């Protein structure tokens, strides 16, 4: 008897628990009606889950592909401009930039290559792409960063060459000198091959220095480190102006002629005293003196030649003028002995000792070569100066250090006197980087900057901001920002669409559940009033339809979830061939499930409020009265 | 003072008026004193106010007027945790009016048992769960022995696992009586408890009901029009004297029958 009678389920201690058991028992008692309601809820929720699963899965797949492929983070400049090291370092230090490497000119960044083992096989044209450090395109596509004389080939380049990692590639940088072709040979070890998605180009990723030497060679310069012949890139003098001395003063028309098409922009007549101050020379009597100069940028020898041509036959004397320069006098160890102001004078090298006599024939460009005299008259700094000292100049981070022969005679003032040709070259250093090459015993030009860069944003969300930053600097760039924006917009539109459909579906579901629960309460007024009579409070009974609503909606949600998983599996199986590992077109995250459960619980509670309100208004006397 | 001397209900000059469908009805109770453990029956024709009187005694309906309305709560009943602060052991009309719905519900669940005309069993529970529901509601766990005794005495031991719809009218009433007594209330209100039962069954149910109430010391208040059943069970009988007032109105006065 006891065993048969023992209640196992409905023996809770709190009235809340009892009400839950009663509401569950009532649903089970009318299981056919309850099942219909559960299926109705599932019919509303299933399409919504599938729709959201499709939206989320598709967008996430697109986003995943955007995130996974570093090409979508790449930012390429669309103009050829000189980007100096300083700018590149600045942009590379930004938090939203993960990688940047300079690029040489596109036209100079190609070689013809073949494998060393294939000897005379047909050459394949290869683009050279610079890489270094953290290049995501290389690292995220199955290769390591090449070093020294290594290269990483794209898939199409490797196929064209038949190359495998470890093999030696022989590349030929070609140039045309006059009417003949020349080629510089370089050997590169294939250290890796990228996956096909990295690039469809036939290209080799190489250290930046390889591109630099190829560019130098293609520009006609010699590349001693590779044994490639060519002309040296010598530094050249630039001037701040020219002083014109002549017996007859200029007419306004003459003055206009001198600043028209010569590179100069200003002309002014100066006094003999000013002339001496500028040139350290005595002005000849009965001469008008003019300073022809520019406001900002220095001019080359061509501008001086243009002035000379315009004054041909006038008997004018031309003296190039350079503003005083600052330098340091150092010992061979680099220790600063003295700071110097360098004053350039237009004395011929062999006239330096006779200075300050004015050149009788005026200035000529004959001596304007790279083999400038590195001589100087130093002021009285020390009595035991060596015959050769080191001068050092600085410009931002750049340092130019070079030896200078000290003439026995001392300069009269506190400035060091140097020949105007040397001054012109040192003046060039104020505008661009040059270096003294002891091997060639000449000043040579150093790279001013780079024609482009490869830049990768830290994340796809940073691309748009970087694009705007660069465009604000006047650098139009190509990015995949539009593609990223398209995905974001698609996500927005689909979310809106989903919300609209959800709103309609949920309204219908809530209305159906509300009506069903209310009708159920009306049908069970008698039983519910009995519950009130035997001691359930209004508050306790209020929960009766709420629990029923939550139970029905919860069961409906579980059924819908089961249906969703079946459908998601089917959809993903159907489109498996279009999906990569870890991708799916239809899926929900755990967070979505938590949100869905919460939303269903809240909506079910709201749906049952009308019924709950009705229950709370039932009077216990109704059970007696209706009898 | 013995239990049989304790006053359970004391009503004096209590009236309840209501207007329904343009018809006025007035129930008057000049004096009604019910002792604890007594079996009192209220006899009257349909519409005379039996259910209204039971509503008032069940604390679900408030009188319109009352010189005295006292409901003595069982002194040995331990569980009125929500009212410990007020130490309520009797409830006058004023006190009843001031109680919240939850407090009234608590008094009903602990003090009163009900047997309705057709049983009033919950159709979605088994007979066993129906009987044990008031126990569970009062926090009385493991009432198997009570269940066994009541089921055996009422001859429904074989029906405990069934739903009420599978029971006959007599079995439903027996189950309803078991439910009304299971949590040991101080009073059981029975409204036409044998109306849906044949005469033979009605007599037996009445006897068992009376016997169980006596054994448990429960005050039993019956509203019925079955004279035979009432005379077999009730210690005292009250009748409703009905008079016409005005063109459509009715006045019903409860007086003790000799």
A623: nearest CB among B120, B144, B147: B120
Mean of the per-residue pLDDT values for chain A? 85
The average pLDDT across A296-302 equals 86
What pLDDT score does A126 carry?
93
pLDDT at site B89: 52
- Give me the interface pTM, i.e. the ipTM: 0.87
User: A506 pLDDT exceeds 50?
Assistant: yes
Which of the listed ranges A165-174, A215-224, B227-236 does the model predict with the highest average pLDDT?
A165-174
pLDDT value of residue A2: 37
Range of the domain at B208: 3-256
pLDDT of residue B69: 85
Angle at CA of residue A53, ends A49 and A59, nearest 5°: 150
Q: Does A330 touch chain B (CB under 8 A)?
A: no
d(CA A500, CA A519) in angstroms, rounded, equals: 29
Q: What was the pLDDT predicted at A569?
A: 93
CB atoms within 10 A of CB A483: 14
Enumerate residues 6+ apart whose C-beta is below 8 A from A72.
A66, A460, A463, A480, A483, A484
Is B114–A533 a contact, with Cβ atoms under 8 angstroms apart? yes
pLDDT of residue A120: 60
In the prediction, which pLDDT does A351 show?
A: 47
Q: Quick one: CA dihedral A537, A539, A540, A541, positive or negative?
A: positive
Confidence of residue A112 (pLDDT cuts 50, 70, 90): very high
Interface test with B, best of A27, A521, A535 (most B CBs within 10 A): A535
| pLDDT class of A158 with cuts at 50, 70, 90 | very high
* Chain B residues within an 8 Å CB radius of A535: 105-106, 108-110, 134, 137-138
Any chain A CB within 8 A of the CB of B118? yes
Q: Across the interface, which of A6, A621, A627 has its CB nearest the CB of B60?
A: A621
Residue A194, pLDDT > 90, answer: yes
Share of chain A above pLDDT 90, in %: 36
Distance, CA of B17 to CA of B15 (rounded, Å): 7
Residue B189's CB: how many other CB atoms inside 10 A? 25
A95 pLDDT higher than 60 = yes
Weakest mean pLDDT among A141-150, A394-403, B197-206: B197-206
pLDDT at A7: 44
**pLDDT recorded at residue B87:** 40
Confidence class for position A557, pLDDT limits 50, 70, 90: very high
**How far off is chain B from A543, nearest CA to CA, in Å?**
14
Confidence of residue A368 (pLDDT cuts 50, 70, 90): very low
Chain A contact present for B132, CB below 8 A: yes
Q: What are phi and psi of A356, to 5 degrees?
A: -105, 55
CA A594 centroid distance within chain: 38
Neighbour-count burial of A439, counting CB atoms closer than 10 A to its CB (0-12 exposed, 13-18 middle, 19+ buried): exposed
Question: What whole-number percentage of chain A has pLDDT above 70?
Answer: 92
pLDDT in tens, A409-437: 887 778 888 888 888 899 999 888 888 98
> Could you tell me if B160 lies within 8 Å of chain A, comparing CB atoms?
yes
Instruction: Say which residue, A461 or B40, is predicted with more confidence.
Output: B40
With bands split at pLDDT 50, 70 and 90, how would you rate the model's confidence at B109?
confident
Most confident of A151-160, A419-428, B8-17, B200-209: A151-160
Say yes or no for a CB contact (<8 Å) between A534 and B108: yes
A28 CB neighbours in chain B (<8 A) are 124
pLDDT of B81 > 50? The answer is: no
For residues A593 and A571, give the distance between their C-alpha atoms in angstroms, rounded to a whole number.
Answer: 19
Nearest to B192 among A5, A533, A627 (CB): A627
Query: In terms of C-beta density within 10 A (0-12 exposed, 13-18 middle, 19 or more buried), how is residue A321 classed?
Result: buried
What is the pLDDT at residue A623?
62
Grade residue A60 by pLDDT with cuts at 50, 70 and 90: confident
- pLDDT over 90 at A345, yes or no: no
Q: Using a CB–CB cutoff of 8 Å, tell me whether B139 touches chain A.
A: yes
Residue B187, SS3 per DSSP:
strand
d(CA A115, CA A610): 82
Q: Which two tokens stand for residue A67?
A: 């995130």
CB A10 within 8 A of CB A25: yes
The residues pairing with A435 across neighbouring beta strands, listed in sequence order, are A444
> CA-CA distance, A377 to A417, in Å (whole number)?
5
Residue A523 sits at the chain B interface (C-beta within 8 Å): no
In the predicted model, is pLDDT for residue B47 greater than 50?
yes
Residue with token string 């069940």: B58
Residue A4: closest C-alpha in chain B? B161
Residues of B in contact with A527 (CB under 8 A): 122-124
The shares of helix, strand and coil residues in chain A, as percent rounded to the nearest 5, are 45, 25, 30
Q: Which of B49, B120, B128, B173 to mutate to test the interface with A (most CBs of A within 10 A)?
A: B120
Say which residue, A119 or A480, is predicted with more confidence.
A480
Q: Which position has the higher pLDDT, A311 or B84? A: A311
Residue B136 makes CB contacts below 8 A (sequence gap 6+) with A10, A11, A12, A13, A18
What's the number of domains chain B is made of?
Answer: 1
- Domain CATH for B205: 3.40.50.300
Classified as helix, coil or strand, A475 is coil
The predicted structure's pLDDT at residue A382: 74
Residue A621 touches partner B, C-beta closer than 8 Å = yes
Q: Which residue of B has its CA nearest to A8?
A: B129
Q: How far apart are CA A436 and CA A443, in angstroms?
A: 4
Structure tokens at A494: 């689909």
Which residues of A fall within a CB distance of 8 Å from B118? 627
- pLDDT exceeds 60 at position B113: yes
Residue B6, pLDDT > 50, answer yes
What is the average pLDDT across A8-34? Answer: 79
Structure tokens belonging to residue A104: 């040489």
* Number of cross-chain residue pairs from A and B with Cβ atoms under 8 Å apart: 116
Cβ neighbours, 10 Å, residue A265: 15
Q: How many other C-beta atoms lie within 10 A of the C-beta of residue A31?
A: 10
Domain residue ranges in chain A: 2-65+484-625, 76-233+450-479, 235-439
Over its C-alpha atoms, chain B yields an Rg (Å, rounded) of: 18
Helix (H) or strand (E) holding B233: helix B227-233
* pLDDT band per the 50, 70, 90 thresholds, residue B257: confident
Do B55 and A621 lie within an 8 Å CB cutoff?
Answer: yes
* Structural tokens at position A70: 């570093």
- Rounded CA gap, B42 and B239, in Å? 6
In the predicted structure, residue B124 carries a pLDDT above the cut 80: yes
Is the pLDDT confidence value at A353 over 70? no
Q: Among A26, A28, A535, whose Cβ lies nearest the Cβ of B137?
A: A535
Q: Is A3 on the interface with B (CB under 8 A)?
A: no
- Beta carbons of A342 and A416 less than 8 angstroms apart: yes
- pLDDT higher than threshold 60 for residue B125: yes
A204: three-class secondary structure by DSSP: strand
Residues 6+ apart with CB under 8 A from A110: A125, A126, A127, A128
Do residues B63 and B9 touch, judged by C-beta distance below 8 A?
Answer: no
What pTM was computed for the model? 0.62
- Each residue of A243-275: pLDDT tens digit? 988 888 888 898 898 888 888 999 999 998 898
E-strand ranges in B76-175 read 90-92, 112-115
CB contact under 8 A, A534 and B137: yes
Percent of chain B clearing pLDDT 70 (strictly above): 89
**Chain B contact for A7 (CB, 8 A cutoff):** yes
Which residues of chain B make contact with A11, given a CB cutoff of 8 A? 132, 136, 141
Residue B232 has pLDDT above 80, yes or no: no
- Tell me whether residues B132 and A11 touch, CB distance under 8 A: yes
Average pLDDT of the segment spanning A135-149: 91
Residue B180: which H helix or E strand, with range?
helix B169-182
């Amino acid at each position: 008897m006891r065993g048969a009678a023992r209640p196992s389920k409905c023996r809770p201690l709190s009235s809340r628990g009892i009400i839950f058991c009663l509401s569950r028992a009532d649903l089970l008692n009318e299981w056919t009606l309850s099942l219909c309601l559960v299926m109705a809820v599932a019919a509303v929720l299933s399409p919504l889950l599938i729709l959201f699963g499709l939206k989320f899965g598709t967008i996430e797949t697109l986003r995943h592909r955007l995130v996974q492929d570093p090409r979508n983070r790449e930012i390429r400049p669309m103009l050829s401009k000189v980007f100096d090291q300083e700018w590149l370092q600045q942009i590379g230090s930004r938090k939203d930039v993960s990688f940047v490497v300079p690029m040489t000119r596109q036209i100079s960044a190609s070689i013809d290559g073949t494998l060393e083992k294939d000897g005379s096989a047909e050459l394949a044209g290869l683009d050279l792409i610079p890489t270094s450090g953290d290049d995501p395109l290389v690292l995220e596509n199955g290769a390591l960063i090449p070093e020294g004389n290594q290269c990483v080939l794209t898939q199409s380049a490797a196929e064209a060459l038949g190359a495998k990692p470890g093999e030696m590639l022989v590349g030929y940088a070609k140039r045309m000198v006059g009417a003949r072709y020349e080629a510089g040979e370089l050997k590169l070890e294939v250290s890796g091959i990228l996956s096909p998605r990295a690039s469809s180009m036939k290209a080799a990723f190489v250290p930046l220095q390889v591109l630099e030497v190829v560019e130098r060679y293609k520009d006609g310069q010699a590349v001693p480190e590779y044994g490639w012949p060519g002309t040296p890139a010598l530094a050249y003098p630039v001037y701040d102006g020219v002083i014109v001395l002549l017996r007859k003063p200029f007419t306004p028309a003459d003055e206009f002629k001198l600043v028209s098409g010569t590179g100069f922009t200003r002309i002014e007549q100066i006094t003999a005293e000013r002339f001496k101050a500028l040139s350290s020379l005595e002005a000849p009597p009965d001469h008008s003196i003019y300073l022809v100069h520019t406001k900002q940028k220095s001019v080359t020898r061509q501008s001086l030649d243009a002035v000379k041509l315009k004054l041909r036959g006038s008997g004018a004397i031309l003296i190039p003028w350079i503003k005083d320069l600052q330098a340091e006098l150092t010992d061979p160890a680099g220790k600063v002995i003295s700071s110097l102001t360098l004053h350039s004078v237009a004395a011929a090298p062999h006239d330096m000792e006779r200075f300050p006599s004015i050149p009788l024939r005026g200035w000529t460009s004959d001596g304007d070569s790279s083999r400038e005299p590195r001589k100087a008259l130093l002021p009285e700094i020390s009595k035991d100066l060596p015959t050769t000292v080191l001068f050092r100049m600085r410009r931002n981070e750049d340092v130019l250090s070079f030896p200078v022969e000290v003439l026995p005679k001392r300069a009269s003032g506190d400035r060091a006197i140097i020949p105007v040709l040397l001054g012109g070259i040192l003046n060039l250093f104020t505008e661009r980087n040059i270096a003294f090459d002891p091997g060639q015993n000449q000043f040579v030009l150093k790279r001013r900057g780079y024609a482009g860069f490869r830049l990768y944003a830290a994340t796809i969300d940073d691309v748009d901001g970087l694009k705007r930053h660069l465009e604000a600097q006047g650098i139009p760039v190509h990015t995949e920002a539009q593609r990223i924006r398209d995905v974001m917009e698609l996500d927005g539109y689909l979310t809106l669409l989903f919300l609209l459909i959800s709103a309609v579906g949920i309204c219908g579901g809530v209305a159906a559940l509300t009506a069903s629960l209310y009708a159920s309460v009306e049908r069970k007024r008698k039983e519910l009033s009995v519950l009130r009579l035997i001691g359930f409070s209004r508050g306790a009974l209020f929960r009766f339809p709420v629990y029923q609503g939550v139970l029905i909606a919860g069961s409906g949600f579980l059924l819908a979830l089961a249906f969703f998983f079946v459908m998601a599996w089917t959809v993903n199986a159907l489109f498996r061939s279009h999906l990569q590992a870890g991708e799916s077109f239809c899926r929900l995250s755990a967070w979505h499930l938590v949100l869905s459960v919460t939303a269903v619980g809240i909506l079910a509670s709201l749906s049952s409020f009308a019924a709950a309100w009705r229950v709370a208004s039932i009077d216990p006397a109704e059970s007696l009265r209706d009898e | 003072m013995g239990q049989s001397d304790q006053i359970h209900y004391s009503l004096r000059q209590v009236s309840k008026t209501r207007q329904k469908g343009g018809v006025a009805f007035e129930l008057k109770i000049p004096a009604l004193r019910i002792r604890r453990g007594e079996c009192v029956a209220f006899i009257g024709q349909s519409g005379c106010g039996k259910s209204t009187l039971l509503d008032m005694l069940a604390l679900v309906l408030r009188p319109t007027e009352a010189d005295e309305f006292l409901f003595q709560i069982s002194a040995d009943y331990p569980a009125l945790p929500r009212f410990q602060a007020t130490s309520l052991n009797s409830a006058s009309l004023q006190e009843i009016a001031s109680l919240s719905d939850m407090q009234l519900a608590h008094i009903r669940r602990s003090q009163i048992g009900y047997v309705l005309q057709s049983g009033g069993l919950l159709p979605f529970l088994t007979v066993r769960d129906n009987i044990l529901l008031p126990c569970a509601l009062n926090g009385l766990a493991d009432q198997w022995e009570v269940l066994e005794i009541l089921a055996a005495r009422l001859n429904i031991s074989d029906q405990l696992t069934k739903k009420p719809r599978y029971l006959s009218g007599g079995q439903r009433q027996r189950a309803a009586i078991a439910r009304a007594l299971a949590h040991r209330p101080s009073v059981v209100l029975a409204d036409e408890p044998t109306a849906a039962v044949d005469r033979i069954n009605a007599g037996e149910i009445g006897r068992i009901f009376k016997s169980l109430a006596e054994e448990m010391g429960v005050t039993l208040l019956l509203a019925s029009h079955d004279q035979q059943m009432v005379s077999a069970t009730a210690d005292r009988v009250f009748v409703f004297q009905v008079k016409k007032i005005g063109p459509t109105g009715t006045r019903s006065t409860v007086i003790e029958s000799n």
